[in-house]
Amino acid sequence: MSTKPILLHLQGSEPVMNEETTTSQPKPERRDAAENRQRILNAALQLFEQHGVEQVSMNQIAAEAQIGPGTLYRRYRNKSELCLDLMKDNLVILFEDIYAYLEDNRTDSPSSRLRGILSLFMRFREKKAQLLRGVEDSSSSNRPSSRTKGPLYHELHEILVQLFDEMLALSGQSGPDSVFRADMLLNGISSESYLFQREVRGYTPEMILEHLCATFIADK
């Protein structure tokens, strides 16, 4: 399946946020850098809990942490990176659960395994909605392209593509391209889309899961 790159990225002392980063062992943090990082994370978490991730600016976080904006931006280019660092332990656990599930159920059909993964991820989304939305935020004003995707997206995409490839192979028929199909499914469970279905359409998480499975899983 995968060499679990997101786990390697997130378990180090430094947050790893882009595709160009290697999986080599991170260098230990200097004491002052570690202290600044903790102050930033504490300040961000407090502000996010009070006002919500979208309403808090990077300058507000710097002021709350009592550091200069330059120090903050040297550490985190945007709120997406900061949220990922805040959530890294939770994300490591999520992907450990996903890979354990795939291993424990490796003899099940790919459609069954896909449904199980979606269920795991949606339960995680319900528990960590605010910070996960921050992680998924493309932060177009801080990134070269609003189409940039982070490691969370790429790791889930890799898993979904393999499962869709298996489903196509078993069906013996042509079907939608697995890469495109995985992109569309991830778009469907993104924070913006998921919260729209929950808050505007009024669907429960269970109903959303059933609709996603009916849309993206076609057992032959």
Flag whether 24 is in a domain.
Answer: no
Number of H helices, E strands in the chain: 11, 0
Looking at the predicted structure, is the pLDDT value of residue 171 above 50? yes
- Evaluated on CA atoms 142, 143, 145, 148, the torsion sign reads negative
Please state, rounded to an integer, the average pLDDT across all residues of the chain: 83
Question: Looking up tokens 């997406």, which residue turns up?
Answer: 80
Flag whether 41 is in a domain.
Answer: no
Q: Which two tokens stand for residue 68?
A: 């200069």
Flag whether 40 is in a domain.
Answer: no
How many domains, the chain? 1
Please report how many Cα atoms fall inside a 13 Å half-sphere around the Cα of residue 10, on the Cβ side. 24
Domain that holds residue 148: 5-16+78-216
Looking at the predicted structure, is the pLDDT value of residue 91 above 60? yes
Looking at the predicted structure, is the pLDDT value of residue 74 above 70? yes
User: What pLDDT score was predicted for residue 25?
Assistant: 52
Flag whether 70 is in a domain.
Answer: no
Share of the chain above pLDDT 90, in %: 51
Flag whether 153 is in a domain.
Answer: yes
Rounded CA-CA distance 183/158 in Å is 10
Share of the chain above pLDDT 70, in %: 80
Flag whether 49 is in a domain.
Answer: no
Flag whether 146 is in a domain.
Answer: yes
Asked if residues 74 and 57 have their Cβ atoms less than 8 Å apart, the reply is no
Q: Give me the mean pLDDT over the 105-113 stretch.
A: 96
Alpha-carbon Rg for the chain in angstroms: 19
Flag whether 94 is in a domain.
Answer: yes
Cβ neighbours of residue 117 under 8 Å, at least 6 residues apart?
98, 101, 102, 159, 160, 163
